[in-house]
Amino acid sequence: MESLNELLQNWNKKHDSRAKLQHTYLVVAVALVVLAGLIGLVNMNMGQQLLAIALVSAAVFLINAVAWALLESSVINRVGTTRRTKTTKTTAKTTTKTRK
């Protein structure tokens, strides 16, 4: 039990909130597929309903992954580049002023 607790604490420290959300979607989808398979052995209709919920969770996982990848590539990287450029220009001006 301690190793599980330690594993979860390490996971919490290593990943940001977006990655945690993605992991949660994936775990829920896999758990629901397994549960749907087990319940489907007893009650086929209930198993199919759980499978539909699992598919929705998997679809949300994929849509979220694509949305974050597009956002990160088109917006976040450009904002980071703009900030680095401004910092470099400011540093260059400061250096020039100190030389005079």
Q: What is the per-residue pLDDT across 27-39, written as a single tens digit (0 to 9) for each?
A: 988 999 999 999 9
Confidence of residue 43 (pLDDT cuts 50, 70, 90): very high
Mean pLDDT of 14-40: 89
40: its two tokens: 């489907």
Q: Rounded to whole angstroms, how far apart are CA atoms 18 and 35? A: 26
Greater confidence (17 vs 97) lies with 17
Task: Please state at what angle helix 44-71 crosses helix 17-42, rounded to 10 degrees.
Answer: 160
Count: domains in the chain: 1
Range of the domain at 62: 2-99
pTM score: 0.63
The mean of the pLDDT values for the chain is: 81
Residue 41, pLDDT score: 94
Q: Are 54 and 33 in contact (CB under 8 A)?
A: yes
